[in-house]
Copies of this chain bind each other. A is one copy, B any other.
Amino acid sequence: MSRSIRLAVIPGDGIGPEVVAQGLKVLDAALPSDVKVETREYDLGARRWHATGDTLPDAELESLKDHDAILLGAIGDPSVPSGVLERGLLLKLRFAFDHYVNLRPSKLLPRTATPLAGRPEIDFVVVREGTEGPYVGNGGSLRTGTPAEVATEVSLNTAYGVERVVRDAYERAQARPRRKLTLVHKNNVLVHAGHLWKNIFDRVGREYPEVTTDYLHVDAATIFFVTQPERFDVIVTDNLFGDILTDLAAAISGGIGLAASGNINPTGAFPSMFEPVHGSAPDIAGTGKADPTATVLSVALLLRHLGYEAEATRIETAVTEDVTGRDGSARTTDEIGDALASRVRAASVTP
């Protein structure tokens, strides 16, 4: 474990800078004083694109590589055509840095928001593939804008890409008490991609005899998310299905204000990137209403990824305590960040 962290920070758009500021505050509170954090901030996102037309210039992509991890706030603004920043910045980073494990845990804490009656037990993690599927950007359109237009999107799936993420998911399932892994796909319709996923899932599974497995079509999975979310432990799925399922997962387990994610390259060849699942929420930017908790929890994932397990757990505990102690009175982004930082700091000095 390195005693210094070179951290790239991309605050981004809307509430991004506000929540990232709190994430950094809590990071600072969590780390022992001898760990030096060197941060470098990158001005990327809507403002930059409007000013220069850049989404992610090569030089910045290169310089981002020279970090241990990336903390990202949020990207996107209604003033930018849909897709420009998503494909040109966010997805470009995930693909360039081969973030093949997109890790998205969901846990319903006491007293947090859920639309589900009876508050079922929710404690699962989605391992979303991050570098393949319909996200590869392999599509096009012919006779664009005419009545004869044809537009395609190609989902690309490789044994190489599927096996590595499936293996990662088995490892995570093996390490959890319930040891259960569910594959979600749509192999009765998307038969080629679906059978590739299912065959690899079954084959790799033979190396993990202690892990119980099952398979669900993505449509059926959404039903179980709302009727029996307690049945899930670890879920492994394709990039697009993972995108959809993890927003639904966030909605049922505390809301999008609490959902953290890590775009992880487990090999360490490139820096992993941590970001809240939520977007830039331009409607509340600058009002102090944004909940920085998802970003703070993303910082916990970042610390765990870098080997700071105790520090990560302290942050998660602080969040649990803070969230379950909420009395409904409104706090600003900054106040929540302060509260979390002082809880973490208090826990760090306790013997």
Residue positions of A touching B, CB distance < 8 A:
76, 82-83, 86-87, 91, 114-118, 134-135, 137, 139-141, 143-160, 163, 186-196, 198-199, 218-220, 222-223, 225-227, 240, 243-248, 250-252, 256
Q: Is B222 in contact with A248, judged by CB distance below 8 angstroms? A: yes
B87, B117, B153, B247: the one contacting A220 at CB < 8 Å is B247
B114, B152, B192: the one contacting A157 at CB < 8 Å is B152
B143, B150, B154, B248: the one contacting A153 at CB < 8 Å is B154
Q: Which residue of B lies closest to A279 (CB)?
A: B220
Q: Which of A135, A160, A240, A244 has the most CB of B within 10 A?
A: A244
**Integer count of this chain's copies in the complex:** 2
Chain B residue numbers with a CB within 8 Å of A250 are: 223
Q: Complex formed: what's the CA distance from A157 to B134 in Å?
A: 14
Q: List 14 A-B contacts (CB under 8 A).
A: A82-B195, A83-B187, A86-B188, A86-B189, A116-B117, A117-B118, A134-B190, A147-B160, A152-B156, A153-B155, A220-B247, A223-B248, A223-B256, A226-B251
Q: Is A159 in contact with B146, judged by CB distance below 8 angstroms? A: yes
Q: Complex formed: what's the CA distance from A192 to B141 in Å?
A: 6
Q: Is B135 in contact with A147, judged by CB distance below 8 angstroms? A: no
Q: Is B222 in contact with A222, judged by CB distance below 8 angstroms? A: yes
Chain B residue numbers with a CB within 8 Å of A157 are: 150-153
Q: Which residue of B lies closest to A133 (CB)?
A: B153
Chain B residue numbers with a CB within 8 Å of A149 are: 158-159, 196
Chain B residue numbers with a CB within 8 Å of A194 are: 82-83
Q: Complex formed: what's the CA distance from A83 to B117 in Å?
A: 35
Q: Is A152 in contact with B248, judged by CB distance below 8 angstroms? A: no
B82, B147, B159, B190: the one contacting A188 at CB < 8 Å is B82
Q: Complex formed: what's the CA distance from A139 to B149 in Å?
A: 20
Q: Complex formed: what's the CA distance from A118 to B198 in Å?
A: 38
Q: Complex formed: what's the CA distance from A157 to B154 in Å?
A: 11
Q: Complex formed: what's the CA distance from A30 to B215 in Å?
A: 41
Q: Complex formed: what's the CA distance from A146 to B83 in Å?
A: 35
A55 to chain B, nearest CB (A): 13
